């Protein structure tokens, strides 16, 4: 078991420095787990750390999934098989640039919901999740001969709240399930955070990117004795849409600064976890977002994170630099010469079929009637899009139209014709138009761009939250079509010889042959914004604004033979072609 002896950790009675790397099983295809874990061991690490994504394991209340890519037990057993110990951070909140910080959407159906505190319905839901998860992990604890050496209580709680009753409830829950061999908290190195996010009988750790000495000195103020642990050494960073990718933006100077920080951490004898060692991908609609003082920014699909091991499992520019520092303090395994992960440019894929969104509503959705537009969660919808439709009488002179508290981005159509884009990010919730004598049918196609995963704006319901007004008059009487796009099998595609008119949301389909499946990247030059599926698997969002210009397509998603590609394009494309490339394009 992991224990504390003076200012160091011991494992089974022997001195043990935790050298760990973050890798999330839910961001990496199951078929790739072992490859990434073996590379982690060869890097010189002895431990892997993972969060647990509650929203994936309990997509609906009481409906639990621990199979296939959510088989956390097999992930942990695979880590043990390659020689790694395991740290589990079960939440229930995880942040992680993951939708809603890993909390399930259905919590937000309660209009009085308060998360991450001792609000009884939230505690009851979290307890039910722990009741399903923790008995699976208990046999894998180090005290029973397993690889799990430590568990985290919540996650950076001090940066959110100060409800010690809530924190203690979670710690007691871990203990009651037999998984509390060794508990810890992690917070940023600030007074308020370390005061509010910690418990007296639980080891305190800190998270940071730079200024190691100052951060560890602050930790010592609140924990005068015991081992020093950096639970998150931010070894890279994540990207928002419209920003430069952090590998190219950082450049070598930033890597040198990170290398210096890592050396500072190790030189003082501290344990460390690289966040991230391997980031993986926000497949589907799972990316999170940030909202800082009302400024909303959604994360991209790639979670490459400028990590030592890149999105496809290759050695990034930080791999050798960090490993060289590590080698000053521990004996490293021999790193065999290895070619980069195989990838292929399968070339252009012709798009041959199309199905318009508006013509396909009956195949994709069930209509709801609402007096006012309600949030996505109130229609029992988790992710994707919502179409709100109403009829406005005329004539009316030009007036200001407003989708109040729009979360997050909408396309406005009048009598089926595109009018304008409204969006939360820019604050442009407004449009102006007049209504002809015969009236007009108004459609708003709203995209959930990702729920906020950090900070006070965490309870981020999606859709239109504050009603719709025209000339300050509320519009009532709506048809609402939830569009989670979780099943596209009923779409009726027809041949298409040219791109459909711009701003006419359309599903496009093409097929391509693969003889030998290997990794590739789906590039969409000339396309604007949307979502892509390969053989029914949602690869995630694309957007011409970048920085990400190609979606990672791992080999296990490809079939030997014929493969199906579906693209939901919101605005328009210049050509009916996409390109499968051998290299990513992250801007």
The domain over range 347-355+488-581 is classified in CATH as 2.40.170.20: no
Q: Specify the DSSP element, H or E, that contains 273.
A: strand 271-275
Region 346-374: what's the mean pLDDT? 97
Bridge partner residues of 432 (DSSP): 400
pLDDT for 574 equals 94
Region 482-493: what's the mean pLDDT? 98
3-state SS string for 121-175:
HHHHHHHHHHHHHHHHHHHHEHHHCCCEEEEECCCCHHHCCCCHHHHHHHHHHHH
pLDDT for 253 equals 66
Q: How many CB atoms lie within 10 A of CB 371?
A: 9
Backbone phi, psi, residue 302, to 5°? -70, 135
Q: Which of 462, 461, 458 is nearest to 444 (CA)?
A: 462
pLDDT for 337 equals 81
pLDDT per position as a tens digit, 47-94: 999 999 999 999 999 999 999 999 999 999 999 999 999 999 999 999
Q: Which of 380, 367, 377 is nearest to 462 (CA)?
A: 377
Backbone phi, psi, residue 556, to 5°? -65, -15
Mean pLDDT lowest among 244-258, 340-354, 399-413, 435-449: 244-258
Coil, helix or strand at residue 431: strand
Q: How far is residue 568's CA from residue 346's CA, in Å, rounded to a whole number?
A: 21
Are the CB atoms for 502 and 531 separated by under 8 Å?
A: no
Checking if the pLDDT of 126 tops 60, the result is yes
Checking if the pLDDT of 371 tops 50, the result is yes
Q: How far is residue 30's CA from residue 75's CA, in Å, rounded to a whole number?
A: 8
For domain 2-234, the CATH class is alpha beta
Checking if the pLDDT of 252 tops 70, the result is no
Checking if the pLDDT of 251 tops 60, the result is no
pLDDT per position as a tens digit, 98-117: 999 999 999 999 999 999 99
Are the CB atoms for 333 and 327 separated by under 8 Å?
A: no
Work out the mean pLDDT of the chain and round it to a whole number.
Answer: 96
Q: Specify the DSSP element, H or E, that contains 511.
A: strand 506-514
Coil, helix or strand at residue 182: coil
pLDDT for 246 equals 76
**pLDDT band at residue 586 under the 50/70/90 scheme:** low
Are the CB atoms for 546 and 317 separated by under 8 Å?
A: no
Are 2-234 and 347-355+488-581 equal in CATH topology?
Answer: no
Are the CB atoms for 351 and 567 separated by under 8 Å?
A: yes
pLDDT for 249 equals 45
| Contact partners, residue 212, CB within 8 Å, separation at least 6 | 230, 261, 264, 265, 268
Checking if the pLDDT of 95 tops 80, the result is yes
Q: How far is residue 98's CA from residue 102's CA, in Å, rounded to a whole number?
A: 6
- For the annotated catalytic residues, the residue numbers are 156, 232
Checking if the pLDDT of 587 tops 90, the result is no
pLDDT for 487 equals 97
In terms of Cβ atoms closer than 10 Å to its own Cβ (0-12, 13-18, 19+), residue 238 is buried
Q: How many CB atoms lie within 10 A of CB 432?
A: 12
Overall residue count recorded for the chain in this entry: 587
Q: Which of 202, 188, 300 is nearest to 233 (CA)?
A: 188
What is the token pair recorded at 369? 């009637």
Coil, helix or strand at residue 517: coil
Instruction: Please state the domain extents for the chain.
Output: 2-234, 347-355+488-581, 372-476
Q: How many CB atoms lie within 10 A of CB 290?
A: 18
Q: Which of 383, 466, 390 is nearest to 430 (CA)?
A: 466
DSSP letter string, 34-93: HHHHHHHHHHT-SEEEEE--HHHH-SBTTB---SGGG-HHHHHHHHHHTT-EEEEE--S-
Q: How far is residue 480's CA from residue 465's CA, in Å, rounded to a whole number?
A: 14
Checking if the pLDDT of 465 tops 50, the result is yes
Checking if the pLDDT of 250 tops 60, the result is no
Share of the chain above pLDDT 90, in %: 95
| Contact partners, residue 379, CB within 8 Å, separation at least 6 | 368, 386, 480, 482
Residue range 372-476, CATH number: 2.60.120.260
């Amino acid at each position: 078991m992991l224990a504390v002896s003076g200012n160091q950790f011991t494992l089974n009675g022997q001195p043990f420095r935790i050298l760990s790397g973050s890798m999330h099983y839910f961001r990496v295809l199951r078929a790739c787990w072992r490859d990434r874990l073996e590379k982690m061991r060869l890097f010189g690490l002895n431990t892997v750390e993972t969060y647990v994504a509650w929203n994936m394991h309990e997509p609906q209340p009481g409906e639990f999934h621990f199979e296939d890519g959510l088989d956390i037990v097999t992930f942990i057993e695979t880590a043990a098989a390659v020689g790694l110990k395991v740290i589990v951070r079960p939440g229930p909140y995880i942040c992680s640039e993951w939708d809603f910080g890993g909390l399930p959407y259905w919590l937000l159906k309660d209009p009085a919901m308060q998360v991450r505190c001792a609000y009884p319905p939230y505690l009851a839901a979290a307890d039910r999740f722990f009741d399903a998860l923790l008995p699976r992990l208990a046999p894998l604890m180090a005290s029973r001969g397993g690889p799990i050496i430590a568990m985290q209580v919540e996650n950076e709680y001090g940066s959110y709240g100060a409800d010690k009753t809530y924190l203690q409830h979670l710690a007691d829950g871990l203990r009651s399930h037999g998984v509390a061999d060794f508990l810890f908290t992690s917070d940023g190195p600030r007074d308020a955070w370390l005061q509010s996010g910690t418990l007296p009988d639980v080891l305190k750790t800190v998270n940071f990117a730079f200024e190691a000495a100052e951060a560890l000195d602050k930790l010592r103020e609140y924990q005068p004795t015991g081992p020093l642990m950096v639970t998150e050494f931010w070894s890279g960073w994540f990207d928002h849409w419209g920003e430069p990718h952090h590998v190219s933006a950082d450049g070598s100077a930033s890597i040198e600064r990170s290398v210096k920080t890592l050396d500072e951490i190790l030189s003082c004898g501290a344990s460390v976890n690289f966040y991230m060692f391997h980031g993986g991908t926000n497949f589907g609609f799972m990316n999170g977002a940030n909202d800082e003082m009302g400024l909303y920014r959604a994360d991209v699909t790639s979670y490459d994170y400028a990590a030592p091991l890149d999105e496809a499992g290759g050695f990034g520019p930080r791999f050798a630099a960090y490993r060289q520092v590590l080698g000053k303090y521990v004996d490293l395994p021999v790193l065999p010469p290895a070619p980069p992960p195989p990838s292929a440019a399968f070339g252009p894929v012709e798009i041959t079929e199309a199905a318009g969104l508006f013509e396909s509503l009956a195949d994709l959705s069930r209509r709801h009637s609402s007096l006012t537009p309600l949030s996505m969660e109130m229609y029992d919808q988790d992710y994707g899009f919502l179409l709100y439709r109403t009829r406005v009488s005329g004539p009316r002179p030009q007036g200001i139209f407003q989708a109040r508290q729009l979360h997050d981005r909408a396309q406005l159509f009048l009598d089926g014709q595109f009018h304008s884009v409204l969006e939360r990010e820019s604050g442009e919730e407004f449009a102006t138009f007049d209504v002809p004598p015969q009236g007009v049918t108004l459609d708003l196609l709203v995209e959930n761009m990702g729920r906020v995963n950090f900070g006070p704006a965490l309870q981020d319901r999606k859709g239109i939250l504050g009603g719709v007004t025209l000339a300050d008059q509320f519009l009532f009487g709506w048809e609402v079509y939830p569009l989670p796009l979780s099943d596209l099998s009923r779409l009726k595609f027809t041949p298409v010889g040219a791109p459909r008119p711009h701003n006419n949301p359309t599903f496009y389909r093409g097929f391509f042959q693969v003889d030998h499946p290997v990794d590739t990247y789906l590039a969409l030059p000339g396309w604007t914004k949307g979502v892509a599926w390969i053989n029914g698997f949602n690869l995630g969002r694309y957007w011409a604004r970048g920085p990400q210009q190609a979606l990672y397509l791992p080999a296990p998603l490809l079939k030997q033979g014929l493969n199906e590609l579906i693209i939901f394009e919101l605005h328009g494309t210049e050509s009916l072609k996409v390109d499968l490339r051998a290299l990513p394009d992250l801007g």
